[in-house]
Amino acid sequence: MRSFILIFAWLVTANLAQAADFGGLLRGVLGGVQTGPSAQEAAANGNNNNAPLGNLIGALLAGQTTPEQERLIGQQIAGNLLGAAPLVRDDALQRYVNRVGRWVASTSERPDLAWRFGVIESEDINAFAAPGGYVFVTKGLYRRLQNEAELAAVLGHEIGHVIRQHHLKLLQQSQMIAAVGGLFGQRLGNRSQVIQNLIGNGAEIVARSLDKDAEYEADRIGMVLTARAGYDPYALPAVLQEIGHVPAQDSRLALLYKTHPHPEDRLARLGEAAEAAGPGLPEGRLVDKRFYRLK
């Protein structure tokens, strides 16, 4: 019994140490990970467990997370991000962003997610999404928006990441999870610690690069959701152009440029996609009168 505890303690420590290097590890393995048989096994185990957390790792590996599991992962990431950059203390602003965001999200195929939107204290120009329906815009980006349609477009891009589960897929692709999954399943530590180990350190996952195609896909979705919600579909290109106006070496764009294709490429891809779609996108509203401007 005693030796079991010792081994257990060693494994936990090893696990934490590995988690600390999660980001670096992940970068090396992105794109080429085989999750074959072990993933299927893990999924089979996961299906027998009805607890909200369930076999989170197995479910992730098999790409079969339940909405509850997705939510828990997102909650942890969102909580971490807010630890780095808290919500702007402006109730009217936060409520406004939630109203606009929820409306845009309701035109997607996942209208029932517990969507939460927030403007965070950072002069960076960026926006973030986390699984389960969490979307954040920095104050620096919000300040550059001209009207509600542009806000809807930015939120729409992030909503695109959520509904296509881009960050979940990123987690799924990591060898780290395969290792942890094989060793422990979900049976150690408390829930928060398990998820923390899973997502790596802090809110770093939101800063990790998705592949470029995921970004282009989110752009196309953002443009369409903006149009579906009745806004001007060209609001997203307008925001991208606005970002293009900021000198690229501006440090407030450092993280955005590190994790996203250049606005020029995004505009070009959007242009190709919109052109291929034929008759063109419907016109829509900008809604600038009630657009909430920062004090």
Partner 1 sequence: MKSLRMCCALLALAALPVWAAPGVMLRDDSLRSAPAATAPLLGTVAKGQTVEMLGRQGAWSQIQVGNRTGWVRLLSVRGGAAAQTDVAGELAGVLALGTTRRDPGRVVAVAGVRGLSEEELKLAQYDPRQLERLESYAVTQAEAARFAAEAGLARRELAYLPAPQTAARGEGERSGQP
Site for partner 1 in 13-32 (CB under 8 A): 23, 31
Identity (one letter) of the amino acid at 243?
I
Specify the residue, 3 or 249, whose C-beta has the smaller distance to partner 1.
249
Specify the residue, 11 or 274, whose C-beta has the smaller distance to partner 1.
274
Contact flag: residue 75 with partner 1 (CB under 8 A): yes
Residue 61's closest CA among 76, 80, 77, 41?
41
200-236 CB burial, b ≥16 within 10 A, e <16:
beebbbbbbebeeebbbbbbbbbbbbbbbbebbbbbb
> Tokens 């590890």 identify what position?
25
Minimum CB separation of residue 284 from partner 1 in Å reads 8
Site stretch for partner 1 (CB under 8 A), options 11-19, 47-55, 177-185, 221-229: 221-229
Q: Pick from 18, 49, 66, 94 the residue near partner 1 by CB under 8 A.
A: 94
DSSP 62: T
Minimum CB separation of residue 269 from partner 1 in Å reads 6
Residue 33 tokens, joined: 């990970």
Residues paired with residue 180 on neighbouring β-strands, in sequence order:
none
Q: Pick from 55, 76, 174, 186 the residue near partner 1 by CB under 8 A.
A: 76
Q: Pick from 80, 174, 186, 197 the residue near partner 1 by CB under 8 A.
A: 80
* CB-based contacts of 59-67 (< 8 A; 24+ apart in sequence): 60/168, 60/171, 60/172, 60/177, 60/181, 60/198, 61/35, 61/172, 61/177, 61/178, 61/181, 63/168, 63/169, 63/172, 65/131, 65/165, 65/168, 67/113, 67/132
Binding to partner 1, residues 133-162 (CB under 8 A) = 138, 148
Specify the residue, 2 or 290, whose C-beta has the smaller distance to partner 1.
290
Q: Pick from 70, 150, 158, 232 the residue near partner 1 by CB under 8 A.
A: 232
In angstroms, the CA 123 to CA 41 distance is 45
In angstroms, the CA 270 to CA 287 distance is 23
Q: Pick from 65, 165, 229, 260 the residue near partner 1 by CB under 8 A.
A: 229
Residue 224's closest CA among 153, 165, 285, 171?
153
Q: Pick from 56, 72, 81, 141 the residue near partner 1 by CB under 8 A.
A: 81
Contact flag: residue 52 with partner 1 (CB under 8 A): no
Site stretch for partner 1 (CB under 8 A), options 6-14, 47-55, 117-125, 177-185: 117-125
Residue 204 tokens, joined: 């770093």
Contact flag: residue 221 with partner 1 (CB under 8 A): yes
Specify the residue, 11 or 257, whose C-beta has the smaller distance to partner 1.
257
- Nearest-Å Rg of the Cα atoms of the chain is 20
Q: Pick from 47, 179, 184, 252 the residue near partner 1 by CB under 8 A.
A: 252
Site stretch for partner 1 (CB under 8 A), options 6-14, 47-55, 181-189, 277-285: 277-285
Torsion sign across C-alpha atoms 98, 101, 107, 110: negative
What does the per-residue mask of binding to partner 1 show for 185-204, with x meaning CB under 8 A?
A: -------x---x----xxxx
